Structure 1
Amino acid sequence: MSGSDTAILVFKVVTIVTTILMRVSLLPDFQRMRKMKSTGDMSVLPCVLLYANCYLLCWYSYVVDNIIPLFLTAALGVISGAILAVFFYKWTAHKRDVMKVFVVSGVVMLLETIYGLVALLGWTGQSHSSTGTTLGVLVIISSVGLYASPMATIRHVIRTKTSSSMPFTMGVVNVINSFCWVVYAVLVDDIFILVPNASGALLGSIQLVLTFIYPRKAPSEGQIISATIVGPRTGSINSACAEQASLSVVVPSPAHDSRESRKSGAVEGSNFVALRSPEA
């Protein structure tokens, strides 16, 4: 076995390991969602693009006969991405918007399936190599979308000064995994693997930089929201200026709220005090 063959074998193994880690890299974020019973600021795009991109990779790897490591890791990505998307839908408060994303991704995957079947049957007039090239271009587009998906909330991150909406673990593993695939792509001379993963390494690095600039803020037990209630104007001299009443409300976090709700059963009605309306 030549040195080149040995290097290819080594990076086949390395890419399999790092890609498996990439496929499950969202689990820490989903564990946090499970505890909070909420998706928070997280976007559904990383989940959707994970299974959609990997589904396309399955077609490409089959056409170019790259079963190990490409097809194997892509199939795992389809399964893990779909499972994560289901749980995201379960915990999100924006089910209608998430369902729209699911429908769009489903249509795209259906079109990919139709093209793949028609091309492999020879009905498009393309050669086997030409079909692989077309699928490769689509892989580049979808892969760049996958790697850029954690940055879909970049404007929100800069505005709120926190990277809570960015999956940190996915960003770290993304950089490592992309680098390994870049080396593998150079060894096997596959431009359609090289380009998206080079983009992934770059975008992942930008995400990590943003994470360090705007570190994730730990959720607090509650947030205090202050408001000023302005009463109605009357014709009297003393009320020429609007009457105002300050109000502070503590909004507990979901975890804190669940603990307090269990205690509320023991609170008697006499403990509740009616507050006078500013208009009174």
Structure 2
Amino acid sequence: MGDFKSALATTASISTILQFLSGVLICRKIVRKGTCGDTSCFPFVAGFASCSLWLRYGCLIEDVSLIVVNCVGAFLQLSYVFIYLLYSPKKTTILRQLGAVTLVLFLTLAYVHYESDPHIARTRMGLICCSMTLLFFVAPFSVLTQVIRTKSSESLPFPLIVTTFVVSCQWFTYGVLLNDQFVQIPNAFGCILSALQLSLFVIYPKSNITKSEKWSTKDIPPRIL
């Protein structure tokens, strides 16, 4: 069981980092065009916050896999934010978002640091991380409403949904092995939501995809677990 847990942690970490790297496609297009236009940077800002919080939780429970994958995730998400800053006409908006997120992170991490009871610190940090991840998973419901209304799944990014389903299943299983409900709950929800999204491809098949199909930051899940 120990070997299986180690192997699962490794594959889940690799899958998650590959998912994080999908943001490179967005930033590459921005650099090539010389502007990010009206696309929002907030998913990456929120992703940086999520990875930072999960990183702290990983340190609290002393889990190497959570620490490594969220270190990489926080670095990548922050890198994407800086690229947006370079090419965005709305730099003030991005700086405000980043400032607000940094303040929330500082207050949260300061509380955890000065909490005298380690068990309470772990529990409350886990609740915060779990709640944030659940909020990110709920976000695609607006897209699902559009799919059902238009009876077309063209607005759904199939590769990213499949990736999210696989990653969620991996982390859910890992959470079971850790006996950690804060890892289990959001990923169980992620598995269900991803499966629901995948079922829409069967119910409402895509028409032929053209080369004009575009990626947006809405396609990037800004979370780790």
Q: Same fold (TM over 0.5)?
A: yes
Match of 1:254 in 2: none
Query: Is 1:175 equivalent to 2:165 in the alignment?
Result: yes
1:89 to 82, 85, 88: 85
Higher helix share: 2
Q: Is the 8 A contact 1:26 1:167 kept in 2?
A: no
Which one has the bigger strand percentage? Answer: 1
CA distance in 1, matches of 2:144, 2:44: 20
Per-residue deviation, 1:93: 3.5
Q: CA contact under 8 A between 2:144 and 2:197: conserved in structure 1?
A: no
1:199 is aligned to 2:189: yes
Residue 12 of structure 1 deviates from its aligned partner by: 1.4
- State how far apart, in whole Å, the 2-side matches of 1:112 and 1:17 are: 28
The secondary structure found in structure 2 opposite 1:38 is coil
Letter in 2 for 1:74: N
Alignment of 1:64-79 (within 5 A): 64-66=61-63, 68-79=64-75
Deviation at 1:138, TM superposition (A): 0.4
State the partner residue of 1:133. 123
CA distance in structure 2 between the aligned counterparts of 1:107 and 1:215, rounded to whole angstroms: 45
d(CA) in 1 for partners of 2:208 and 2:180?
37
Deviation at 1:100, TM superposition (A): 2.8
| Equivalent position SS for 1:10 | helix
Counterpart of 1:186 in structure 2 is: 176
Q: CA deviation at 1:55?
A: 0.6
Match of 1:115 among 111, 115, 120: 111
Once the two structures are TM-superposed, the CA of residue 79 in structure 1 deviates from its matched residue by: 0.6
Q: CA deviation at 1:57?
A: 0.9
3-state SS of the aligned residue for 1:176? helix
- The reply to whether residue 29 of structure 1 matches residue 26 of structure 2 is yes
Confirm whether residue 61 of structure 1 aligns to residue 58 of structure 2.
yes
CA distance in 2, matches of 1:45, 1:157: 22
- Percent of aligned positions with the same letter in both sequences? 20
- Cα 1:83/1:198, change in 2 over 3 Å: same
Task: Give 1:84 shift.
Answer: 0.6
Please point out which of 154, 162, 170 is paired with 2:143.
154
Partners of 1:30 and 1:187 lie apart in 2 by: 36
Give per-residue Cα distances to partners, 1:24-75, cap 9 Å, x unaligned: 1211222222222333564323211211011111111111111x21111111
Structure 1's 177 and 131: CA in aligned 2 closer, same or farther, altered over 3 A?
same
- Measured after TM superposition, the shift of residue 106 of structure 1 is 1.4
CA pair 99-106 structure 1, distance change in 2 beyond 3 A:
same
TM-score (norm 1): 0.63
Write the mapping of 1:243-258 to structure 2, written as runs, cut at 5 A. none
What amino acid maps onto 2:105 in structure 1?
M
**Structure 1 unpaired stretches of 5+:** 221-280
Distance 1:81 1:55, change over 3 A: same
Judged with a 3 Å threshold, the aligned counterparts in structure 2 of structure 1 residues 193 and 101 are, in CA distance, closer, same or farther, namely same
Distance 2:91 2:209 in 1: 25
Mean Cα deviation higher: 197-206 or 13-22: 197-206
**Number of residues paired by the alignment?**
207
Residue-by-residue CA offset, 1:225-245 (whole Å, 9 max, x unaligned): xxxxxxxxxxxxxxxxxxxxx
Greater Rg by CA = 1
Deviations 1:160-219 (A, max 9, x none): 9863xx776544432221111011111221111011222233444556648965987644
Q: CA RMSD in A?
A: 3.2
Task: Please state how far the C-alpha of 1:146 moved relative to its aligned partner.
Answer: 3.7
Question: Structure 2 stretches of 5 or more lacking a match?
Answer: 214-225
Q: Is the 8 A contact 1:29 1:167 kept in 2?
A: no
Give 1:50's aligned residue: 47
Preserved contact between residue 178 and residue 198 of structure 1 (Cα < 8 Å)? yes
1:54·1:74 contact (CA, 8 Å) conserved in 2? Answer: yes
Which amino acid counterpart does residue 176 of structure 2 have in structure 1?
V
